[in-house]
Structure 1
Amino acid sequence: MSKLLDALLIDLRSQRFTFRLMGLELKPSKPGERRQVLRSPLTFAIMVIATSFEFCTVCAFIVQHSSEIVLCSEALMHGVQMISSLLKMWIFLWKCEELVALIAAIQQPFEQTNIDPAELLIFQQQSRIGQSLSSIYTLMCTGTSISFLLMPLALTLLRFNSTGLFAPVSSFRVVLPYDVTQPEIYFLDCCLMVFVLTFFCCSTSGVDTLYGWFVFGLTAHYRCLVLRLQRISCNKGLSEWQLEQQLDQLFGEHAKLLRLVDRFELAFREIACVEVLLICVLYCSVICQYIMPHTNQNFAFLGFFSMVVSTQLCIYAVGAERVRHEGQEFAQQLYMQLPWHQLSARLRRLLLLPLQRATKETHLGAYFFVLGHPLLVWTFRTAGSFTTLLNALRAKYEH
Structure 2
Amino acid sequence: MPMVIYSCQHLQEIAEVTNAMAPFMQATITLWKIWRVIYRRKMMAELVEDIYSVSTKATKQELTHLRRENNRERIMNTFYYYSVFNTGVLALIAPVLVSFIQYLRLGEFSYIVVLKATYPIELARPLNYVLIWLWSAIAIYGVIYGSVSVDSLYSWYIHNLVGNFKILQTKFVTAELIAEVSERRASIYYCLGYHQRLITMSEQLNIIYQPIVLVQFSLNALQICFLAYQIGSGDVAVVDLPFLFLFMTSVGIQLMIYCYGGQYLQNESENVAKFISQTINSTIWPIDLRKVLLFSMARAQRPCKLTGIFFDVDLRLFLWVWRTAGSYVTLLRSVDQQSS
Counterpart among 52, 61, 71 of residue 6 in structure 2: 61
Deviations 1:290-323 (A, max 9, x none): 1113142511211210111111111111111100
Partner of residue 251, structure 1: 192
Identity of aligned residues (%): 20
Partner of residue 266, structure 2: 324
Partner of residue 276, structure 1: 217
Partner of residue 261, structure 1: 202
Contact kept in structure 2, 1:156 and 1:166, CA below 8 Å: yes
Aligned-partner Cα distance in 1 for 2:311–2:39: 22
Contact kept in structure 1, 2:114 and 2:133, CA below 8 Å: no
Counterpart among 66, 73, 79 of residue 18 in structure 2: 73
| Offset at residue 122 of structure 1 (A) | 1.9
Partner of residue 177, structure 2: 234
Contact kept in structure 2, 1:269 and 1:365, CA below 8 Å: yes
Q: 1:350 to 1:337 in 2, by over 3 A?
A: closer
Partner of residue 160, structure 1: 103
Q: Which structure 2 residues correspond to residues 32-181 of structure 1 after superposition, within 5 A?
A: 56-110=1-55, 112=56, 115-181=58-124
Partner of residue 232, structure 2: 291
Q: Which runs of 4+ in 1 moved over 6 A?
A: none
Contact kept in structure 2, 1:233 and 1:338, CA below 8 Å: no
Aligned-partner Cα distance in 2 for 1:350–1:145: 54
Q: Does 1:221 align with 2:150?
A: no
> Partner letter of residue 150 of structure 1?
I
Structure 1 residue ranges without an equivalent (≥5): 1-55
Q: Does 1:192 align with 2:141?
A: no
Partner of residue 183, structure 1: 126
Partner of residue 298, structure 2: 356
Deviations 1:119-165 (A, max 9, x none): 22221221111011101100011011110001212222333345442
TM-score (norm 1): 0.81
Aligned-partner Cα distance in 2 for 1:163–1:356: 74
Q: Does 1:307 align with 2:307?
A: no
Contact kept in structure 1, 2:203 and 2:304, CA below 8 Å: no
Aligned-partner Cα distance in 2 for 1:397–1:307: 30
Aligned length: 339
Contact kept in structure 2, 1:156 and 1:169, CA below 8 Å: yes
> Partner letter of residue 362 of structure 1?
C
Q: Report the RMSD for the aligned CA atoms in angstroms.
A: 1.7
Higher mean C-alpha deviation, range 86-95 or range 291-300: 291-300
Aligned-partner Cα distance in 1 for 2:11–2:272: 54
Partner of residue 149, structure 2: 206
Higher mean C-alpha deviation, range 217-226 or range 165-174: 165-174
| Offset at residue 66 of structure 1 (A) | 0.9
Contact kept in structure 1, 2:192 and 2:296, CA below 8 Å: yes
Aligned-partner Cα distance in 1 for 2:191–2:284: 19
Aligned-partner Cα distance in 2 for 1:301–1:333: 47
| Offset at residue 263 of structure 1 (A) | 0.5
Partner of residue 370, structure 1: 312
| Offset at residue 357 of structure 1 (A) | 1.5
Aligned-partner Cα distance in 1 for 2:104–2:279: 73
Counterpart among 313, 336, 339 of residue 394 in structure 1: 336
TM-score (norm 2): 0.94
Deviations 1:153-183 (A, max 9, x none): 2222333345442222234233222112111
Higher mean C-alpha deviation, range 69-78 or range 178-187: 69-78
Contact kept in structure 1, 2:220 and 2:321, CA below 8 Å: yes
SS for the counterpart of 1:289 is helix
| Offset at residue 211 of structure 1 (A) | 1.0
Aligned-partner Cα distance in 2 for 1:304–1:295: 15
